[in-house]
Amino acid sequence: MQESSGYGERFGERLRAKATAFVSRTLRNTDIAVTELRSDNPELGISAPLVREDAYLIGFHFVDYPVHEYFEDDRVAPVTSLRAGNTTLYDLKRSPQFTINKACHCVHFYFPRTALNIIADSAEAAQIGELRYQPGVGIDDPIMRALTSSLVPAFEAPEQASRLFIDHVTLAVGIHVAKTYGGMISAVRPPRGGLAPWQLRRAQDALAADLRGGIALADLANECGLSASHFTRAFRQSTGLSPHQWLLRHRVEMAKHLLRDRQIPLSDIALACGFGDQSHFTRVFTRLTGISPGAWRRNLD
């Protein structure tokens, strides 16, 4: 079987753009991925064909694309104009191609049908059929806008990105797509009791052991014997927070402890608590406490 060209460098090569990708195996050994494409001065013309496979791309566009010429199975779709903030859907079974006629900046989520059906299984819903979309037409989808925008810092500094956070957002996009464009109707209600005490303790210990958020959501779920989507719902039920939010608060509490020692520089505290740098530390600490780390330390007097 030919390897997918729906994400990563192979995807970027076909659209003549620089690609930055994060790949997750959150859903039972099925790759799902998110790829940022950037091209400031691309070679113009028709994009190379993508490998046919039973999978979808869900694109989000950060800049206007006034003339969006799109082809499925070598048939041209009506020419449309994409606006910054639009979402588009593409079926890889239909060999999508594009006319490259200007610079672009976009993010594409890759979901094989098997991944969408695992999401449906977790929700005790019917299998996903074909996603509903109009070829080449942009959609104003505020949920996609919010979820995709939250990944911008990860693409700006991939080496500092939290794998846990990226997994969480990518899975959330998959659930949203399955519901909004695949007609998924969930039969699952959030678990009343959340995680069992041993599950919560094991999950929190695993999170605290990797302050940079490098643990995968799938690994956390496996520790508790749950699917990723069930684990995320149950964890939130138990703590009121997503795993990533819990980890950020845990980092801040550790930072407060270290801030009491005035001999430790803020930059060292930032690194010790899993933040990418002092600026990242200051932003998160201030957002969660309402005061900067330096001001918090001065208030100890």
Contact criterion met (CB below 8 Å) for 47 and 31: no
- What superfamily would CATH give domain 246-298? Homeodomain-like (1.10.10.60)
pLDDT confidence band for 70 (50 / 70 / 90): very high
> What class, spelled out in words, does domain 197-240 have in CATH?
mainly alpha
Could you give the C-alpha distances from 146 to 107, 151, 253, 254, in angstroms and in order? 13, 9, 27, 29
The amino acid sitting at 55 is A
270, 281 contact by CB (below 8 A): yes
Quote the pTM value. 0.81
> Is the pLDDT reported for residue 253 higher than 80?
yes
Q: Which DSSP category does 32 fall into? A: E
Residue 188 DSSP SS3: coil
What is the assigned CATH class of domain 8-180?
mainly beta
Q: What is the Cβ-side half-sphere exposure of residue 288, based on CA atoms within 13 angstroms?
A: 19
**Residue-wise pLDDT tens digits, 212-245:** 888 888 888 888 888 888 888 899 899 999 999 9
**Residue pointed to by tokens 């002092």:** 278
Q: Output the six-digit token pair for 3.
A: 């390897």
Calculate ∠ Cα 151-7-157, nearest 5°. Answer: 35
Domain ranges of the chain: 8-180, 197-240, 246-298
Q: What is the mean pLDDT of residues 110-117?
A: 95
Cβ atoms 168, 244 nearer than 8 A: yes
Tokens at 242, concatenated? 């997503």
Identical fold at 8-180 and 246-298? no
pLDDT tens per residue across span 193-219: 688 889 999 999 999 998 888 888 888
41-68 confidence digits (pLDDT tens):
889 999 999 999 999 999 999 999 999 9
Say if residues 254 and 289 touch (Cβ distance below 8 Å): no
